[in-house]
A and B are shown apart, each in its own frame.
Chain A
């Protein structure tokens, strides 16, 4: 099951020319606001008719401007979770959840209902009205409502944009469970790198109406050429490791391919994989292994490339075992150390500099 999108569309002040393939798992359309992300998923849902293009989901042609095929939204079987939940105010939570079922064969699958209620933790809300729900609860119900309409694809349009930090933290684990449940491929729109690092299996970076980078999340986040799109302050590579132990002093020990990483206590249980995004500006480079230093994480690495930025900075891409790491340092430092591709060095990361937002349980490989 995959999604293939190619479309051209002219908006006031922006011309979209987008083509990408979304494999199973979570594909995140990443870009700043106004880059055209929502237009793309509206076209996938059938809420907007692009000037030209072809959209195919799981073998079914949803729209094709060449042959004139255009399925209206209600015949696409695409679940859409909107930024603002859009629950029906005149219906109870239970009626909202079962709304889509009326129209999709009306099959009453009690297992499906029980599984989704459990997955999203919304059983206790069934009798309530949407007005009596918190923002996070509304989004969970909206996700449940979309899933219960038995979609072939789930669209998430910045489902956390309208939520405060606490509500985001409340809902993220549910979306991670949804991803690992893997029954429905997800196309997710976001402008948050933390969300990309936590959720995405594939990233499609969009800038000014065009796809500028596409690929597996670790590849895109670890690519120095993608840094301008991500923003120099936000750029950072994604590392995947396995939790070994939680120590008494509040640190967790994570095995990477080349070394061990110590981070403030993570939620993932020992034995499980997890991802962590390390911001490029938090990485210090040294040519010799430093002796007496407070930083706990010293990653042996080889320099792959150096990329000169617009300003005084240089982005250095490092290979440490199987993992890619980005470091942002000044050109002056790079010159002083004589950094060049192929050189061995050490990447130094303070444990406390890694934000909790950037740490997440790793995705399980998608089922076929």
Chain B
């Protein structure tokens, strides 16, 4: 890769790492949240629904700033994590992963919830009469049937995490090699004279990664849907 500078390679690698961990950690939580929103009846359900969708509507800068206030080294959660576990999120790549995860979360929950709504509860009843307890019903019937939505949600979230900019730059800034993700690198390059050609290369790479993710998601979820439909 002679035509990419080490800084550019760093940015691509960091973006992939941030998106990967953001997706991996938010997936179980998103499945749980989607299940709670679709199937459970509890006070505060609408509150939770609003909270999950908030990052979709808020300006990303606001989300980033709230993260900074909460998870910054002087923020209530940030100080707690640092004192007890030695975990620092602000201005680290882990913080970028947190910001990406929160920004991608609503997309993931929506996709998973759609697939959960399509699961016939009568099949779950049938599993119950065959001796399966609730956790087993979920593991053997509900989860496999919502697999297409989980795949779509995960890849959508991955792509969103790759491209997250506003909340990330607000929360963890734009430190080359540490918190400079692909979008931050592009932004930095177009701020300096003569950076356009380098920016264009990164733009093309961004487009390629996004397209690949989209095609992969299409292919995987079609495969999963075929399996679920039992053809």
Q: Which residues of A contact B (CB under 8 A)?
A: 45-47, 72-80, 82, 84, 86, 88-91, 99-100, 102-104, 129-132, 145-146, 149
Binds A, one of B13-21, B34-42, B122-130, B156-164: B122-130
Interchain CA distance A137-B129 in the complex, whole Å: 20
- Determine whether the beta carbon of A77 is less than 8 Å from that of B131: yes
Residue in B123, B125, B136 whose CB lies within 8 Å of A47: B125
Q: By the criterion CB–CB under 8 Å, are B230 and A131 in contact?
A: yes
A73 CB contacts on chain B under 8 angstroms: 125, 128-129
Contacts of B131 in A (CB 8 A): 74-75, 77, 100, 102-104, 149
Q: Kindly state the separation between the CA atoms of A80 and B128 in the bound complex, as whole angstroms.
A: 10
A90 lies within 8 A of B228 (CB): yes
Contact A132 B230 (CB under 8 A): yes
Residues of B within 8 A of A76 (CB): 129
Indicate if the CB atoms of A84 and B122 lie closer than 8 Å.
Answer: yes
Bound: A88/B140 CA distance, A: 10
Residues 192 to 231 of chain B near chain A (Cβ within 8 Å)? 227-231
Contact B127 A99 (CB under 8 A): yes
Residues of A within 8 A of B104 (CB): none
Cross-chain pairs A/B with CB under 8 angstroms, 21 sampled: A47-B125, A47-B129, A72-B128, A73-B128, A73-B129, A74-B129, A74-B131, A80-B126, A82-B126, A89-B228, A89-B229, A90-B145, A90-B227, A90-B228, A103-B131, A103-B132, A129-B230, A130-B230, A131-B230, A146-B130, A149-B131
CB distance from B122 to the nearest CB of A (A): 6
A74 contact set on B, CB distance < 8 A: 128-133, 136
Given A45-B129, A72-B128, A80-B129, do A86 and B123 touch, yes or no (CB 8 Å)? yes
CA distance A82 to B130 in the complex (A): 12
Which residues of B are found within 8 Å of A45, using beta-carbon distances? 129
Contact with A along B120-160 (1 / 0, CB 8 A): 10110111111111001000110011000000000000000
Chain A hits for B128, CB < 8 A:
46-47, 72-74
Known: A73-B128, A74-B128, A99-B132. 7 other contacts (CB 8 A): A73-B125, A77-B131, A90-B144, A90-B230, A100-B130, A129-B230, A145-B130
Q: Which of B126, B129, B133 has the most CB of A within 10 A?
A: B129
Q: Which residues of B contact A80 (CB under 8 A)?
A: 126, 129
Whole-angstrom CA separation of A294 from B195 in the bound complex: 106
| Residues of the B chain whose Cβ atoms lie less than 8 Å from the Cβ of A89 | 123, 145, 228-230
* CB closest chain-A residue, reference B144: A90
Chain A residues contacting B141 (CB-CB under 8 Å) are 88
Q: How far is the CA of A145 from the CA of B132 in the complex (A)?
A: 13
Contacts of A86 in B (CB 8 A): 120, 122-123, 125-126
Instruction: Mark contacts of B184-197 with chain A using CB atoms, 8 A cut-off: 1 yes-contact digit, 0 otherwise.
Output: 00000000000000
Query: Is B129 a contact partner of A129 (Cβ separation < 8 A)?
Result: no
Task: List residues of chain B with CB within 8 A of the CB of A129.
Answer: 230-231
* Nearest chain B CB to A48 CB, angstrom units: 10
Chain A residues whose CB sits within 8 angstroms of the CB of B140 once the complex forms: 99
Contact in complex: A79, B129 (CB < 8 Å): yes
**Which 8 pairs between the two chains have the least Cβ-Cβ distance?**
A103-B131, A100-B130, A129-B230, A73-B128, A131-B230, A80-B129, A86-B126, A89-B230
